[in-house]
Amino acid sequence: MKKKTNILLIYTGGTIGMVKDYKTGALKAFNFDELVKNIPELKQLDCNLRGVSFDDPIDSSNMNPHYWAVIASIIEEHYEDNDGFVVLHGSDTMSYSASALSFMLENLQKPVIFTGSQLPIGDLRTDAKENLITSIEIAALQKKGKPVLQEVGLYFEYKLYRGNRTTKINAEHFEAFDSLNYPPLVESGVHLKVHHNYLIKKVTKNKSLQVHKKMDNRVAILKLFPGINQNVLQSVLAIPDLKALILETYGAGNAPMDEWFLNAIKKSVENGLHIINVTQCSGGSVFMGHYETSEKLREMQLVNGKDITTEAAVTKAMYLLGTGVPDKLFKTIFETPLRGEMV
């Protein structure tokens, strides 16, 4: 007889875990028993479900590296006893959290799936049931006794994406997320269609999970815009103790050619600031040197963000700084795909 898989639900907060108090109309956070009461279908799933919750569930706008470490610790603590993990999370910062956890969980060989909803579970038209049930089903998928998925994913509205490739694109639609530079890993229709060739291939056999909880938040994002002035640039570059700057450039990695702009960037790089060139387009890749407007940045040794999302760039920078990567290796390691986050 096939043994049932054990799936752990981790509730951090967010709309998905809200239940409407019909007397007052207010939304309140549920406990695990209430969730099962609201979704009786969970009992039909062919797996053993257990739940843990943050002591004080948070709105995802309050998410930060401390809470990422809490999620990572919960997974570490329950890793041996479970075959998969489903993290219930508010949608606003879910792409950041999924990206962060992908870096923090090294040698992950089990699924960690982030999901949430646009409407609360108790709502008549909720998207929470489908998102949660299918996330659990995907987390429970096994082949020859091993989990099919061995990475951090994000499931929303019939599609499972690689977590560190996602971006929230809509505040109202049920299709709230997209992964513009990488195809879905699993699509949910009448059957679950797994695209095996897109999954991370594990070459590291029997390496045990390593959890990195130290994320260094001495990072910033600067989005270029026509008319950006010298004071704005200088004030960002002069942030005390700043270690990494995500520079959101135009198109394929292009920036203004003004002397003051290039000089300020050059000086900061020479002073040891890691500046990562990431496109502000939703999809596509940085290709430094393709135009004259990016050739200068390449000559200055800016880090090439390639097709990474801003969310993954921020969390990867925090992760590399947190693990104490030497300055002279930062650029090389950042430009190397670690968890399938870039080409």
pLDDT value at position 3?
84
Query: For residues 132 and 144, what is the distance between their CA atoms, to the nearest angstrom?
Result: 25
Helix (H) or strand (E) holding 168: strand 167-168
pLDDT of residue 252: 97
* Mean local confidence (pLDDT), 132-152: 97
CA distance 29 to 16: 9
How far apart are the C-alpha atoms of 10 and 25, rounded to whole Å? 26
> Model confidence over 145-183: pLDDT tens digits?
999 999 999 999 999 999 999 999 999 999 999 999 999
User: Distance of CA 89 to CAs 22, 121, 266, Å?
Assistant: 23, 13, 40
**Per-residue pLDDT band at 204 (split at 50, 70, 90):** low
Q: Burial of 141 by CB count in 10 Å (0-12 exposed, 13-18 middle, 19+ buried)?
A: middle
pLDDT at 214 over 80: yes
Comparing 24-28, 38-42, 230-234, the range with the smallest average pLDDT is 24-28
For the segment 7-19, the average pLDDT, to the nearest whole number, is 90
**Nearest residue to 30 (alpha-carbon basis) of 88, 99, 104:** 88
> What whole-number distance in Å separates Cα of residue 274 and Cα of residue 25?
49
Reply yes or no on whether the pLDDT at 37 is more than 80.
no
CB of 139 closer than 8 Å to CB of 111: yes
Residue in 15, 126, 134, 279 annotated catalytic: 15
Checking if the pLDDT of 22 tops 90, the result is no
Whole-number average pLDDT of the chain = 94
- pLDDT level of residue 32 (50, 70, 90 thresholds): low
Question: What is the tally of helices (H) and strands (E) in the chain?
Answer: 9, 20
Is the confidence at residue 38, as pLDDT, over 80? no
Q: What is the pLDDT of residue 202?
A: 76
pLDDT in tens, 97-131: 999 999 999 999 999 999 999 998 878 899 999 99
Q: Both tokens of residue 121? A: 């579970």
pTM: predicted TM-score of the whole model, two decimal places: 0.96
> Which position has the token pair 């969970």?
42
Alpha-carbon distance 179 to 262, whole Å? 32
Looking at the predicted structure, is the pLDDT value of residue 215 above 70?
Answer: yes
Tokens representing 217?
């938040």
Q: Where is pLDDT greater, at 236 or 2?
A: 236
Phi, psi at 300, each rounded to 5°: -80, 0
Q: In the predicted model, is pLDDT for residue 296 greater than 80?
A: yes
Alpha carbons 42 and 132: distance in angstroms, whole number: 9
Mean pLDDT check: name the lowest of 10-19, 128-137, 138-147, 311-320.
10-19
Size (the chain), residues: 343
The predicted model gives 181-196 an average pLDDT of 98
One-letter amino acid at 220 equals: A
Closest CA to 263 of 286, 241, 237: 237
- pLDDT for 1 equals 61
The tens digit of pLDDT for each residue in 225-273 reads 999 999 999 999 999 999 999 999 999 999 999 999 999 999 999 999 9
Confidence band of 40 (pLDDT split at 50, 70, 90): confident
pLDDT at 29: 74
Amino acid at 36: V
Average pLDDT over residues 67-88: 98
pLDDT higher than threshold 80 for residue 27 = no
Active site residue 204: no
Q: Which two tokens stand for residue 332?
A: 């090389």
Assess contact for 105 and 73: CB atoms under 8 A. Answer: no
How does residue 334 score in pLDDT terms, banded at 50, 70 and 90? very high
